[in-house]
Amino acid sequence: LSLLILFIQRQETLVMRDSLTKLNNHRAFASYLEQRIGGPPPRRQVFLVMIDADRFKEINDTFGHSKGDEALIKIADVLRGVAHKGDLITRMGGDEFTIVGQRANEAEVMAFCQAIDQAIEEENRYGGNPYQLSVSWGYALYDSAIHHNVDQLIRAADQAMYINKETVSGY
């Protein structure tokens, strides 16, 4: 019986994890986000950060797909390094990531996003990479009066990410 339980747990882990970065995948993200906003109102503000790697195609085209995979793993490691215990970090696919968590207010969410930028800069400075990592991010704070479902929260964070990508990064 214990071997069966271990086998089932291992299979669940495989289904919910991205094989390259070892982060959670889209399936884990959807389940976690539904739990966060579908349950009783949280004491702290639920947020969603959407993150997209800038110039990822250039890394693949210039340095090869193995370096592209390495870049994704490094971004995942940076996100793990800045995330708080209890945050869910997800690789949604390709070069897109999300983080779902709770903070006291919007200022803490903004400071968290700025910490991502600082950690990426440190990776570029000290990581010895032949490429420069860069990400664009956008966030949305869950508000039940505005976001009537998970998709609306995702769209709000995604839209904020694309505005950031255009205005800050020029992409």
Please give the Cα distance from 18 to 86 (Å, whole number): 18
Can 52 be counted among the known catalytic residues?
no
CA distance 97 to 25: 9
CB-based contact 133:105 (threshold 8 Å)? no
| Rounded Cα gap, residues 129 and 152, in angstroms | 37
Eight-state DSSP code of residue 62: H
Q: Are 126 and 94 in contact (CB under 8 A)?
A: no
Shortest CA distance to 67 belongs to which of 136, 165, 133, 137? 133
Q: Which two tokens stand for residue 113?
A: 């996003």
Q: Do the Cβ atoms of 72 and 5 come closer than 8 Å? A: no
Per the residue annotation, which of 69, 95, 117, 158 is the catalytic one?
A: 95
What is the four-CA torsion angle of 150, 155, 161, 166, rounded to 10 degrees?
180
- The catalytic residue positions are 95
